[in-house]
Structures are given as structure tokens and as C-alpha cells.
Amino acid sequence: MRKRILATGAVLVAAGLVFTGCSGDSGGGGDTGTKVLTVGMPNGPQQENHNPLATGSASLSLGYAFAVYESLMQVNEIDPTEAPTPWLAESVEWNPEYTQAIITPREGVKWSDGEDFTADDIAFSIQLRKDNPELNIDFPDQYGDISVEDGKVVVNFTTGQFVNEVKLYKLLIVPEHIWASENPVDFAGGDMIGTGPFTLKTFTPQAVTLVPNENYWGEKPKVAQLRYDAFNDNAGLTTALTTGEAQWGWTFIPDYEETFIAKNPEHYHQVAGGGFGVDVLYLNNETKPFDDPAFRQALNMAIDYADITETAGYGVWPEITSVTGLPQPSGDAFISDAYQGQEREVDIDGAKQVLTDAGYTWDGEALVDPDGEKVSFKLTNPSGWTDYLDALAIISEGAAELGAEATVDAIVQDTWFNDTIPFGNFQASLHWTDGGSTPWNMYSNIMDGASYVPLGETANWNFGRYQNDEVTQALATYKAATTDEERQAALDLVQQRYVEDVPGIVIWSRPAVAQYSTVNYTGFPTAEDPYANPQPTGPQAALILSKLVPTE
């Protein structure tokens, strides 16, 4: 099992940790660049919504929220065992059961409008999430009392948060003096008053411009202007990256070495990190044909995962071979004894036998379910997401081998983000999972009954609406357990149900991948110095921006 780097008992993330967010002179003067740094994202034109807490907002979709608002700690998702770096919090102290966190805020921080940042802002930001389930993706129904005592924030939880401590560290903090009079769900973010290194200057559906925050508490940014451009799809962003129109982003680039890096080998780079993130084919467990575990199992046996990785992923997304769906080598220590050495392989004959045993028949080549209906379904993802759509095409080929008709439906991204996925308006769709420092996030995102809501209501995870009380309890036990033995026993049950019930299908590993150019600025994470998730769309953006300097 994963070895904890902190001792059992009271766990302290101390202010004494080296603050790596600042570099160079503490005054932050000098060597400020004059060039624009353009971040590109392939999510299409955006509606003006700067809310950093609302899923689907422009600020989160393009990522500029993370240059304006900041998190409590900086977490290196590339190495989950690395101690977090103090940021807006100087320290976070947990009790042994991980049911209480005491947060000490950093002193001397100001909001971009000049108001002081205090413990009340942290408590308010967390209370917002507790009071508004739509904003509470990370800790649904798990917050207890939240208070400020002696200048520190005391956050109580109803269950142990061993697996979720980094989620607390990554929460973005908003100012109470602005947000207290607003409906936080519908609030479009106003002028974006944050503590981060940049402030909002202009917005259009295609481009957002930010400028340095003169009140920033840390190293003053050396990037003269930050711009976020919205491109319609992967191809549009790829073109922008290869021509230098965009200098930082993340998208899937087939044959990236030839397509991207070869255009300027000195300055163009792609970097990737490890972890537990995966892409999952979410299956709607409450509608045909995926309400039948036998069909889910048969489809799993018919998919050529090696072909998906090689053809659709061009080797960028590593193949997952374990029947448990765990990415390797990150997941090696967590695989149940029952599944050690068991690998996924295409088995059409075996899949047809599973279907036969479950009462399926064939009308010529067409698969017929026990109700006498021919089996068909749609595989849905946004248009322009070429790696996903190519993967869906290969999945449809596997379904055809069984006699099922599967069609690929490419839809508008906004529809997918805001309607298709959250409300369960799909039969099968590819989506990512959280990474985390253990496999808990991956399995919870796919299978956790604690995240279940009926079709038509907004789901934050468990998009396939899988329900199994044993699994829900095992995932809760894993969170609350205090020994590795307890956790593995719970994980054994979860893995058994994943393998036998196939609530969703892990397709491939999803390491954090980003592309960047050093023509204007250097200091990005590299393979030699993977100090952070290299993508611009996360709290780590504030850390990365603090390290960027003009290229000599």
C-alpha cells in the first residue's frame, strides 16, 4: 500500500515548509516581460460567467479563474506523496481521524480591491459550498460545523477525509465582502476580486485578457499580460500552438512530436505526468442496454483497448491492462490479490457466451435482448474532441462484433457539459475522473452511491447512476479507515464489483499533459523538474505563473 509520508496522529502541514511559489527578489520588480502569454483551450466560445465555483463557467472552462483566485495549498498532482506547499493557508492541521482540519490563514494578503484577506474569507468560502449543493462537488453532504476561532478556521467533517485532504487544499477562496450579498450559484463573478497574481481586464466570447494584480501578496508576475483564447476544437488549438498564436494549453495532438514539437524543437514542448487519472466510458445504468450488467460485461470483453491506445490515443494516453481498471505503475500496490496478473483482452466468443447465458439471441447478425428488441445505443461526446471520438469509433466496432448497433454522436460542447453529462442524457459517454493520491477518487467517481442522483437531476460524479449499497459503504469505509489493512479490504470489495458489475469502463490512463512554448517565457514544469501539474486549468496555475520569467 501507499506509504504515508506523515506520521499517524495529528498531521500538520506546516508553515515551515519552503514556500516555493516565490522566486527571485521578494520585491518582485525588474525583468518584467513585455510579451503576452496566450493560453488556449479547445472549448469553443464562452458565455460571460466569471464564477470560479460554478461548474461550466467560462472562468473554469478556459482556466482564467485560477490566475485570479487562489487555493489554500499548492498540491503537486504529478507526485501525490509530495508535501503540499502553503499558499493562502500557512498551515492545515488534521486530527487523527481526518474529521477536522484547522486552517491558519496567511498574513499580509490583500484582495485585488485592497481589502484585507482574513480567516473569515476562508470560512465563508467553505460555508458557501456547504450551503449550496450545486457548488459542493468535492464534499457533498460531508461538511459539519465551520467556524473561526482565534484567527483560525475550524472545519469539521461528518466522515473521515483521508482520501480527500488534497481537495480541501485545492478549494478556491472568494471574498466575503463581495459574495455575501450575492446568490453564489447564479452570480457571474462581477469584476473578479481575487487574491491571485492577475486581474480581469476584458472579456469577449473568444478571448479574455488579464493584467498583473498590483496588490498581489507574492512575487509580482513577470508576465506582462495574460490572455485566454477559446478555440473551437482540438484541431483549432493545435494549429494555434504550432503557429505560436497560443503558447500554453493542453489538448490531444496526434503524433505530437511531428505535428507540434518539430515545428520549433528549441522552444516547443509537451510534458506529461503520472497519477491515478483515467478516462471512463460512463454507461447509463438506468436505461437500455446498459441497465443489464450482462451487456455491460460483454461490451467490456469486446473492446480492443490496445487499439484504442495506439490508434485513437497515438500512445499519448497509456494503455491500462489490469482488469481492475487501475493505471500502472501508480496502481500496482493497490490491486487486489484476487486480480493480480489478470489482464484485459478481447474475447468475442466469451462475450457472446455471457450474452447467451443472460437470454440474448441473434436475428441473423443482429443482437436481440431478452425483451425481443434489437440492441442499439449511441456513444456521445463533443465534436472536435478527436481522441475521444476516435476511441468511441473503436468501441462501436467492438459492439458490432457482438451484433449491437452503436453509433457515434458528436454534439456541441456546451450541451455536453451542461446538459448531457450532468443530467444523464446519454447512453454512453467518455469522461475523465479525478486523480487523487489513492485509487479512491477513480472508483468513487464511477461507482459511489453517495454521488447518486436520479436521472434529470444534476450529478457531480457517478454519471452512470450505478447503485450498490455494499460499494457505497466500502468507499465510505476506505475514507474513514485508519489502517492500510482496513482500506485494502474495502478496496477489494470495490474492485470485485467493478470487475463483475462493470458500472463503467475505464478506457485508458489520463496523465496530466500540457503543451507550451518558451519563445516568450520560460519556467514551465518539465520532465526534469515536474514541480506541478503542467496544465493551466487548475490551482497550480498561480504557482506556475510565479515561476515564469521572460526568455533571454
What global pTM score does this model have?
Answer: 0.73
Q: For position 79, which CATH number holds?
A: 3.90.76.10
- Whether 308 and 167 share a structural domain: no
Q: Is the pLDDT of residue 45 over 90?
A: yes
- The helix (run of H) or strand (run of E) holding residue 75 is none
Q: What are phi and psi of 130, to 5 degrees?
A: -60, -40
Are β-strands 11-13 and 89-94 bridged in parallel, bridged antiparallel, or unpaired? antiparallel
Q: Residue 396: give the domain boundaries.
A: 278-509
Q: For position 429, which CATH number holds?
A: 3.10.105.10
Instruction: Point out the domain boundary residue: 180, 215, 245.
Output: 180
Q: Who contacts 262 (Cβ-Cβ below 8 Å, separation ≥6)?
A: none
Query: What's the rounded Cα separation, in Å, for the pair 437 and 380?
Result: 30
Whether residue 74 is contained in a domain is answered as yes
Chain segment 82-110, per-residue pLDDT in tens: 889 999 999 999 998 899 999 999 999 99
Q: Is the pLDDT of residue 12 over 60?
A: no
Query: What's the rounded Cα separation, in Å, for the pair 327 and 307?
Result: 17
Angle value at C-alpha 243, between 239 and 249, nearest 5 degrees: 65
Q: What is the DSSP string of 456-524?
A: TS--SS-TT----HHHHHHHHHHHH-SSHHHHHHHHHHHHHHHHHH-SEEEEEE---EEEEE-SSEE--
Query: What's the rounded Cα separation, in Å, for the pair 137 and 461?
Result: 8
Whether residue 411 is contained in a domain is answered as yes
Say if CB 539 and CB 172 are below 8 A apart: yes
Give the side-chain half-sphere CA count within 13 A for 160. 18
Q: Is the pLDDT of residue 333 over 90?
A: no
Q: Is the pLDDT of residue 11 over 50?
A: no
Tell me, what's the pLDDT at 498? Answer: 98
Whether residue 397 is contained in a domain is answered as yes
Instruction: Point out the domain boundary residue: 509, 526, 542.
Output: 509
Whether residue 328 is contained in a domain is answered as yes
Q: Of 403 and 480, which is predicted with more confidence?
A: 403
Q: Is the pLDDT of residue 18 over 60?
A: no
* Number of structural domains the chain divides into: 2
Q: Is the pLDDT of residue 470 over 80?
A: yes
Whether residue 527 is contained in a domain is answered as no
Q: How many residues does the chain have?
A: 552
Instruction: Point out the domain boundary residue: 129, 155, 180.
Output: 180
Whether residue 371 is contained in a domain is answered as yes
Range of weakest confidence among 45-54, 415-424, 434-443: 434-443
Say if CB 550 and CB 521 are below 8 A apart: yes
Q: What is the DSSP string of 23-57?
A: -S-TT--S----SEEEEEESS----S---SSSTT-
Q: What is the DSSP string of 306-326?
A: HHIIIIISTTSS-B--BTT--
- What's at 485, amino acid-wise? E
Best-predicted range by mean pLDDT (11-25, 271-285, 482-496): 482-496
Helix (H, G, I), strand (E, B) or coil at 147: strand
Query: What's the rounded Cα separation, in Å, for the pair 212 and 201?
Result: 10
Residues of the chain with pLDDT > 70: what percent?
A: 94
- Whether 366 and 486 share a structural domain: yes
Say if CB 21 and CB 532 are below 8 A apart: no
Whether residue 210 is contained in a domain is answered as no
CB-based burial label for 141 (10 Å; 0-12, 13-18, 19+)? exposed
Tell me, what's the pLDDT at 275? Answer: 76
Tell me, what's the pLDDT at 59? Answer: 97
Chain segment 46-74, per-residue pLDDT in tens: 999 999 999 889 999 999 999 999 999 99
Whether residue 204 is contained in a domain is answered as no
Q: Of 295 and 13, which is predicted with more confidence?
A: 295
